[in-house]
Each structure stands twice: as structure tokens, then as C-alpha cells.
Amino acid sequence: MNDTSTGVLLLVLLLLIMLSAFFSSSETSMMSLNRYRLKHLTKEGHKGAQRASSLLERPDRLLGTILVGNNIVNILAASIATVVAVQIWGDAGIAIATVALTVVVLIFGEITPKTLAALRPELIAFPASVVLAILQKLLYPVVWLCSAISGMLLRLVGVNPKDAGGDQLTTEELRTVVREAGVGITRTRQNMLLGILDLEKMTVDDIMVPRNEAIGIDLEDEMPVIINQLRASHHTRLPVYDGDINNIKGIVHMRAIARLLSRGDLTKEAVVNACKEPYFVPENTPLHTQLFNFQKQKRRIAIVVDEYGDVIGLVTLEDILEEIVGDFTTDMLLPSQDIHPQDDGSFVIEGGAAIRDINKQLQWKLPADGPKTLNGLITEQLESIPESPVCLTIGMYRLEILQTKDNMIKSVRVSARNSEARPAERGQAS
């Protein structure tokens, strides 16, 4: 052949290498698309996303189209490169063409386009979907035959090619997606979404107000005491009980109390009549279940009972919502009553303080998967109730028991150490 025909062959070879780059980048970009963003763009009416989504419904046919086209292009490129090399170098051109075309295809037809496609999948996939949709129709007989043979082989190993990869996420995977959202979701919204996911791991026991800290109206008190308690209360709903919280009569709303006060009809009997039937829930009820129960029952406060029917605490709708959106109450008295900062950087903490509240307020990481209170955590570590001052270490926290009374640790001095966490250790206070 003359020089002109060689030049034409080189131009055709260049075109084939470009087509090889197109097929390689198309394959990588289509497989690299974010499926959740693709669904969002599809619902928004993005044409490229709709085409790509349609092609990805049958990935076996999509890959068949790309691979058939890519193999045809590469085989033609190899044949033409061999002809050109033989024209120029004679028989030695066969070896030269093999080495040269391999390097060229690897760099310009595989590595570079696939890297670009992996980094910018939408930039490549959406325009390429137009060509791929046309090729899928033109090459349908070949693709169908290849897909049928491939499908038979896949079924032999128990794989159905019609089953596209599921996009379902587990809770932990969704939690990771939220954390990795970056600038797409603000920190506040991330915390709210994670709070919703964490509801499945928590129960009413984790957030309830223990019965010994519950505030309610005791009908055995004198009326002046009850009136002063009602006037000083910052709660909108209070449990009403007779002598013991296990003997609960109901839940009274402060709006009803205000009406009785305005008419001068506030008596114990009137308070009981104004009560709403108490709503009891079993301990260990998951928070996400209790949230739906509150919605279904049209309630905002529930009495938590154990397996014997004894009251162990109170839980409110507000408590659950705070686990999602964070604290939004204006009551700042409770933390200061339980946690007292000291000049040396340590904290004197009441034994009945909830571990979750301590961790939340002080940004600590005391173990919270066992006992719910500091008293319970210490007695679990010691396996006894100490009768004298004792020091112990839990993780990176040093605890010194200051007071024990009525079979319960009343106060503890706690400080966080800067050293690495060590296994729990016990010893007499010096």
C-alpha cells in the first residue's frame, strides 16, 4: 500500500483507540454512579439520570453492550496496527505492533479514561448513556446471545442475572452515610438523623426519670403543701398518687389545676377528678416503638413499670424528642444538682446521677451499656457496697467514693486522667 493508505489506516487506528477509551470510561462511570443521587436526579426529571437509571436496571445487558463494542474495537485496532506495522517494518512489525498497541491501549484506552470516569462518573455516564442506549438496540441480537450464555453459566453458580444489586442499606450503613455526608448535611442535621437511628438501640429505661426522682402530687400531703408544690412546678403534667407512687391515681394537667385555682375549687377530690387515666408502658420498650405509641395513644407522659407491675420511673415525649434534636428545655437546675465542678478540675457527682447525663454534660465516655447510674456502675465494678472510702479506676476515669448511706453510694469525686485507659482497678483511698 502507498503512504496515503497508511495515513488513512493510522487515522482509523486513532479513532478506534478513542472508541476504546469511550467504552472503558462508559463502563467505569456507569458502575461508579451514586445510586441514591441517581434516584434523586431521576425523580427530579434529569434526562441523563433517567437514561442511566434505565440502562442500569439490567446491568448484564449494559455490560454486554459495552464489552461487545469494546472487544470489536480492540480487535479491529490490533488488526489495523499489525497491517500498518508490517507496511513500515516488515515482519518485525508484528512484534512492534503488539507491544506498542498494548502500551497505547493501556494508557489511552484503559487507565486514563477509567480514572477520569471514576473521579467524575456523572460527567461521563450521562452523555454516554445516549450512545449506549442506541448501541444496545443495534447490538441487541449479539448482546442477547452473549447474555443468554453468560446467564446460563451464572445460574449454575446460583446467581440470577436479572437481580440487580440491591440498594438497601442496613442501619449501620445508613449511619455511615450520614456521617460521611460532609457539607451536604450540616452538623446539627447529622446529629438529628443519627439521633433517630439511635432510637432503635435505646429503651425507655435509658432516658426515664427514676421513681425516686419523679415529681408528683402525694394526696397524703396537706393541701397547703400541695398548693405550694403546684405553684412552684415547672412541669405541665404531674402524676398524682396516694402515699406511694405505685398507688398512682392518674396524670393531672396544670391547665386543669389553673381552672380549679381560678374558681377556688382546688381540693384533693377535685385534683383526682381532674386526672387523666395513667398510661403504663413496660420497661425495656425501644424508644422508636414508644415514640409511635405516644403518637397512637395521644399521650405525652407514661409510667414505666417492671415485670411485677411496680413503677420504676417516668418517661415523656419530650425526653424522646431531646434524644433526636438535643436539649431544648430551659431547666438547668437538674445537672447542677447532680454534678458539682471543683477547683482542681474534678467533679463531685451524686451517686444517683444517670451515666448518660454525665457523659452528655461533661463529654465523657463512662460505660453506659450496663448500669444506668453512677452508683450502679461503681457497685458493679466493686461487686459490693463499700463501707469505707474507696478509690477505683474505670477506663480513663478515677473515682473516689466520698459518702455511702442507706446501702447506696451518695457522692463520688470523679476526674478524667490524661493517660491511656487501663482496666478497672480497686484500692483503699489514701
> pLDDT tens digits for 228-238?
888 888 888 99
Supply the pLDDT for residue 422. 41
Q: Is the separation of the CB atoms in 65 and 145 below 8 Å?
A: no
Task: Tell the burial category of 246 from Cβ atoms under 10 Å away from its Cβ (0-12, 13-18, 19+).
Answer: middle
**In the predicted model, what is the mean pLDDT of residues 84-107?**
86
Supply the pLDDT for residue 362. 87
Q: Which residue has the higher pLDDT, 430 or 278?
A: 278
Mean residue pLDDT of the chain comes to 84
At 368, the pLDDT band (50, 70, 90 cuts) reads confident
CATH superfamily for 202-325 is CBS-domain (3.10.580.10)
**In the predicted model, what is the mean pLDDT of residues 347-362?**
86
Whether the pLDDT of residue 424 is over 50: the answer is no
Torsion of CA 101, 106, 110, 111, to 10 degrees: -150
CATH topology for 339-416 is 3.30.465
Supply the pLDDT for residue 16. 92
Whether the pLDDT of residue 284 is over 70: the answer is yes
d(CA 225, CA 218): 10
d(CA 427, CA 81): 83
At 429, the pLDDT band (50, 70, 90 cuts) reads very low
Supply the pLDDT for residue 418. 62
Task: Tell the burial category of 210 from Cβ atoms under 10 Å away from its Cβ (0-12, 13-18, 19+).
Answer: middle
At 292, the pLDDT band (50, 70, 90 cuts) reads very high
Order of strands, edge to edge, in the sheet holding 217-218?
A: 217-218, 237-242, 244-253
Q: Is the separation of the CB atoms in 42 and 55 below 8 Å?
A: no
Whether the pLDDT of residue 427 is over 50: the answer is no
Q: Which residue has the higher pLDDT, 190 or 167?
A: 190
Other Cβ atoms closer than 10 A to 29? 26
d(CA 272, CA 269): 5
Whether the pLDDT of residue 252 is over 90: the answer is yes
Q: Which stretch, 6-15, 282-291, 319-328, 415-424, has highest mean pLDDT?
A: 282-291
Q: Which residue has the higher pLDDT, 372 or 283?
A: 283
Sequence ranges of the domains in the chain: 6-157, 202-325, 339-416
Supply the pLDDT for residue 140. 84
The fraction of the chain above a pLDDT of 90, given in percent, is 29
Residue 378 is given by DSSP the state H
At 167, the pLDDT band (50, 70, 90 cuts) reads low
Going by C-beta distance under 8 Å and a sequence separation of 6 or more, which residues neighbour residue 208? 304, 312, 313, 314, 315, 319
